[in-house]
Structure 1
Amino acid sequence: MIVAASAPLTVVAGGVTTSFAVTGSLGVPLGFLLIAVILTVFAVGYTAMGRFITNAGAFYAYVAQGLGRPLGVGGSLVALVAYNAMQVGIYGLFGFQLSAFIEAKTGFASPWWVWVLLCIVVVGVLGVNRVDLSAKVLGTLVALEFVAVILFDIVSFKTAPEGISTAALNPSALFGPALGIILVFGVAAFMGFESGAIYGEEAKDPKRTVPRATYLAVALIGLFYAFSAWAFSVGIGPSQIVAASQESGPDLMFVFMTDRTSVIISDIMSILFITSLFAALQAFHNAVARYLYSLGREGVVSHKFSHTSKAGAPWAGSVAQSVIALVIVVGFALAGDAFGGAEAMFGDSAFLFPVLTMFTWLTNTGAAGLVLLMSLTAFAVIGFFRKRPAKLSVWTTVIAPALSGVLLAAMFVAILANFPLMLGQKEPDLTTFLLPGLIIAAFVIGVVWALVLRAKSPKLYSQIGHGTEPGAYGTAMIDVVGVEEVGAP
């Protein structure tokens, strides 16, 4: 689930080329390694805290128990906005890519939103079933993505117009003026990092498997992306990769493979690019559903969201996420198609409307929110172990969380500072401030709502962030079912 959310083929085809194009630097491969190191340091305290907390709300529960319930609720609303933004934003790119591919191969021109609406149904159906069904589907798709990218890497090294150059691995390429921008664009490739803890309640042995999955995923993602970004620079040529990325963007990989292999292989990779987006959609959908389940169980939002299907999946949260996606997609479709909004905004580039608005706006907003959440969670680790001393090292409980928290906070500030660049804007406009403002507003509203709950319902307030502990809402019902199943009176 963690790797599916990061969408390997999408990152290599789209994220790597975008980073090269926007930063104008060869330091992109080392940028992935540096982010992986930062997240590994973050994971030291994060996974240690996870041994004491198993909650589908993950970051929300961690912040609530480490920094206090008001900040926890604030973080939970940031998570809902961020994960929904990431998920719905990806729909824009998915619809555009699928529509464009079908038109290129068959001549049939179809609105991008038609395929998105169909995809929402499929994602929703998988979302209300057991998580292992989604895992099997996504596991297959992710495995095929890795095969496709590895094939591309092999062809790149075989082509190597300037030889097997290590120019992109020179530290001076990273540690220069473009360092901050490289990290800002690279961190989006690791979104979904929290997923391991989100599925803790559904794992057979979360105390062991969640830390293992978290470390394995960040190491695999970091090394794989760094190696593939280096391969990209070798295949195109270090002196040409920036200009080629600026000219062709995400199509560069597929154009390269068509020229060096065959149209069939390029088409297969294009299809896998689309399924890569689908895998990410499913992973983020599941994350939103489980957040709503956790919040509903504890009464932060309606208790109806705590309902699960016979298979154990949080169906109420899943349906709610599908409805949110449907409403937003319809809104963008009406703005872009029905009223000629795309032509008015982008002129000849109107066909890119779902990519330039829905995908770009929402995914960058989501990435900003998740980086903020990770920073809060890092500091929450320090607060948690200060209140609950454990036989763990100072490195685990203080130094590593503090270091990663400061670095992630700096990265969040860098994202806000470079937001116009991330949106492809020459000059700031309303969206420059409105979109990140949604993250800040969600956090403030959450804090205020927690204070209201403290005044109106102290008992409910006391359960915030403690949904799986004895006596919490929903736990007693689970216990009763368990007793009945073994035949006790």
Structure 2
Amino acid sequence: MKTGSSSTSDARPGTGAEAGGISTFKGQERALRADRLGTAGLLLSVLAATGPLMVVAGVMPTTFGVMGIVGQPLIFVILGVVLALFSFGYAEMSRHVHNAGAFYAYISRGLGGTAGAGAAMVALVAYSALHIGIYGILGFEVSGLFATYLEIDLAWWIPALVALAAVGVLAWLKIDVNARVLGVLLLIEVALVVIFDVVAVADPAKEGLSLHAFNPETLTGAGVGTALCFCVAAFLGFEQAPVYAEETSRPQVVVARVMFLAVGFVAVFFAVSSWALTVAAGPNGIVPAAQKESAGLLFSLTESRVGATFTDVLHVLFVTGMFAAVLSFHNVVARYTFAMGREGLLPATFGRTNSASGAPGTGSLLQTVVSAVVIIAFAIADGKPVGDPTAPVLHLFTWMGNVGAFGVILLMAAASLAVIVFFVRRGAARAQAWRLTASAVAGIALLVIAGYTVKDFDVLVASGPGSALNWMLPGIIVLAAVAGLVLGAVLKARKPEAHARIGLGNEAFQLEKLEKLEKLEKLEKAAEVGD
């Protein structure tokens, strides 16, 4: 059998559907399995990446304590508006383009294949960084649980690698199975945070139910820009909905619906939860309390109100919430890898799906290996005693998280421009005028946030103003973009047919089939004339 055969009946032993191996077929068999996710499954999958409990327990106290900004709830409202504006054009694009490459597929359709190749590399590196970074804080939290409840000293990297193995196994299963796992973990997280919100409102600090945190006057000072950078990372996940378009029933409807539901939910949920923190600690006490307690703020506030048992459960489910986030990000990275392999931006072997489950098997395996290498590298470099957060939290989680967030912010800004160009070139500028205006406003706002991210990177990663990390870490995203642009330019010069295929996804292989049929028909006609 020749590689690329389009018939499953010709599969070799060990590679066909019967053996549950990796399919090597182009055309429809090179696609992800369709109709696996509905609105609920897709919504739960993308929301799991936001890590609600991780944000409330980790991001919010850090923003209060490091930036000294009381108006964090208002920041979530503002960002919700900006990302809703972004979603108008992004969601409309999802009705026209169904591709697991999402960001880079949209950018290539609007700005060309070379720009799409650059975006593909940025997406791959950014989402991979976000994914790997979470293993640091997950491993650290599990290590802390072992020390607290079992009196066992466990190095952070051991539970991190165990979690990585579990994620690797789940990622090989059907996406709807993953959605169920993510859904259960997410709903538990949300329920716990809601309980805290209710208790905080019922038992406020001495200032009472103050709405001071929503006062625009609270958004003053040098820390506002950096606070925007911190908080925008809490939203990351909603933009992943188009990644699953090929696996979604009625993607032209479901993907857009899920994006708006996700943005709305995240904005309201985090605005209310961060306000509840200010109510529980008091508007005047939230910053000092966050500076003192850091990531322990939520747990200390719940213990004094709900009791030690609830707080213990919260600690355990904090870990399961992070597990849901790494599983969600792993699935996204695997699908970007698959899309790039299918379109020639990575070796073709990564553009294969597991014939038993339809999951992007080789892409998933690659991400598992890369994650393991990075985790082991940080573990080797960790010279601190067990229980020290420097390597897993302050380095792995913080560095990778901010690198990834910076990359995704740039991708959203580029996608906003691509949406405008796409519809203008199609002659639909007048019909889509309000969506294009929304995309332009969102794009400018996102560029401003990206600028603040670079400017305040020393604060984001706590490296100090003179550290080389301040340009090396964001430089990773710049290098990825340059590498992708160079690859796109090389493909355009040497393999123009592959360059033209960037962003088309499985549709490109259907076009190849039509071209082959047309050539065959011409040859048959020529043969008839010769006879």
Shared fold (TM-score greater than 0.5)? yes
- Deviation, 1:255, is 1.4
Does residue 204 of structure 2 align to residue 165 of structure 1? no
Counterpart of 2:31 in structure 1 is none
Is the contact between residue 129 and residue 404 of structure 2 (CA under 8 Å) also seen in structure 1? yes
Is the contact between residue 13 and residue 251 of structure 1 (CA under 8 Å) also seen in structure 2? yes
Q: Which of 43, 46, 61 pairs up with 1:2?
A: 46
What is the correspondence of 1:349-388 to structure 2 with a 5 Å cutoff?
A: 350-388=388-426
Is the contact between residue 155 and residue 387 of structure 2 (CA under 8 Å) also seen in structure 1? no
CA deviations on 1:249-275 (whole Å, 9 max, x unpaired) are 111111121122221100111111111
In structure 2, the residue corresponding to 1:249 is in which secondary structure?
A: helix
Q: Give distance in 1, aligned partners of 2:409 and 2:457.
A: 14
Counterpart of 2:521 in structure 1 is none
Does residue 301 of structure 2 align to residue 256 of structure 1? yes
The letter of the residue matching 2:470 is T
Q: Which of 71, 74, 77 pairs up with 1:33?
A: 77
Counterpart of 2:103 in structure 1 is 59
Counterpart of 1:93 in structure 2 is 137
What is the correspondence of 1:187-266 to structure 2 with a 5 Å cutoff?
A: 187-266=232-311
Counterpart of 1:313 in structure 2 is 359
Does residue 60 of structure 2 align to residue 21 of structure 1? no
Counterpart of 2:524 in structure 1 is none
Q: Give distance in 2, aligned partners of 1:152 and 1:146.
A: 10
- Deviation, 1:123, is 0.3
Q: Which of 344, 347, 351 pairs up with 1:302?
A: 347
Is the contact between residue 125 and residue 404 of structure 2 (CA under 8 Å) also seen in structure 1? yes
In structure 2, the residue corresponding to 1:9 is in which secondary structure?
A: helix
Counterpart of 1:281 in structure 2 is 326
Does residue 179 of structure 2 align to residue 135 of structure 1? yes
Gaps of 5+ in 2: 1-44, 515-531
The letter of the residue matching 1:174 is L
Does residue 188 of structure 2 align to residue 149 of structure 1? no
Counterpart of 1:179 in structure 2 is 224
Matched positions, count: 468
Counterpart of 2:24 in structure 1 is none
CA deviations on 1:452-480 (whole Å, 9 max, x unpaired) are 1111111111101111325458988xxxx
The letter of the residue matching 2:434 is W
Is the contact between residue 197 and residue 276 of structure 2 (CA under 8 Å) also seen in structure 1? yes
Are residues 366 and 472 of structure 1, via their aligned partners in 2, closer, same or farther at CA, if it must alter by over 3 Å? farther
Does residue 118 of structure 2 align to residue 79 of structure 1? no
Does residue 316 of structure 2 align to residue 271 of structure 1? yes
CA deviations on 1:164-186 (whole Å, 9 max, x unpaired) are 11111112112555432221111
Is the contact between residue 297 and residue 474 of structure 1 (CA under 8 Å) also seen in structure 2? no
Is the contact between residue 76 and residue 446 of structure 1 (CA under 8 Å) also seen in structure 2? yes
In structure 2, the residue corresponding to 1:368 is in which secondary structure?
A: helix
Counterpart of 1:426 in structure 2 is 464
In structure 1, the residue corresponding to 2:249 is in which secondary structure?
A: coil
What is the correspondence of 1:389-468 to structure 2 with a 5 Å cutoff?
A: 389-390=427-428, 392-396=431-435, 398-468=436-506
Is the contact between residue 466 and residue 472 of structure 1 (CA under 8 Å) also seen in structure 2? no
CA deviations on 1:371-408 (whole Å, 9 max, x unpaired) are 00000000000111112233733011x21111111111
TM-score w.r.t. length of structure 2: 0.86
Counterpart of 1:487 in structure 2 is none
Counterpart of 2:525 in structure 1 is none
CA deviations on 1:414-472 (whole Å, 9 max, x unpaired) are 10001000011333312211110000010011001111111111111110111132545
Most deviating of 21-30 and 87-96: 21-30
RMSD: 1.7
CA deviations on 1:169-204 (whole Å, 9 max, x unpaired) are 112112555432221111010112221100000001
Are residues 244 and 304 of structure 1, via their aligned partners in 2, closer, same or farther at CA, if it must alter by over 3 Å? same
The letter of the residue matching 1:440 is V
Counterpart of 2:374 in structure 1 is 328
Q: Give distance in 2, aligned partners of 1:352 and 1:257.
A: 26
Identity over aligned pairs, percent:
39
Most deviating of 433-442 and 465-474: 465-474
Q: Give distance in 2, aligned partners of 1:426 and 1:435.
A: 13
The structure having more radius of gyration, on CA atoms, is 2
Q: Give distance in 1, aligned partners of 2:106 and 2:398.
A: 29
Counterpart of 2:150 in structure 1 is 106
The letter of the residue matching 1:253 is L
CA deviations on 1:83-114 (whole Å, 9 max, x unpaired) are 11000000000000011012101101111111
Gaps of 5+ in 1: 477-489
Q: Give distance in 1, aligned partners of 2:158 and 2:326.
A: 16
In structure 2, the residue corresponding to 1:141 is in which secondary structure?
A: helix
Is the contact between residue 53 and residue 189 of structure 2 (CA under 8 Å) also seen in structure 1? yes
CA deviations on 1:147-176 (whole Å, 9 max, x unpaired) are 100111111112212211111111211255
Q: Give distance in 2, aligned partners of 1:226 and 1:254.
A: 19
Are residues 335 and 472 of structure 1, via their aligned partners in 2, closer, same or farther at CA, if it must alter by over 3 Å? farther
Is the contact between residue 25 and residue 173 of structure 1 (CA under 8 Å) also seen in structure 2? yes
Q: Give distance in 1, aligned partners of 2:387 and 2:250.
A: 50
Are residues 154 and 451 of structure 1, via their aligned partners in 2, closer, same or farther at CA, if it must alter by over 3 Å? same
The letter of the residue matching 1:395 is W
In structure 1, the residue corresponding to 2:507 is in which secondary structure?
A: coil
Are residues 470 and 75 of structure 1, via their aligned partners in 2, closer, same or farther at CA, if it must alter by over 3 Å? closer
TM-score w.r.t. length of structure 1: 0.93
- Deviation, 1:22, is 1.5
Q: Give distance in 1, aligned partners of 2:389 and 2:323.
A: 21
Is the contact between residue 84 and residue 366 of structure 1 (CA under 8 Å) also seen in structure 2? yes
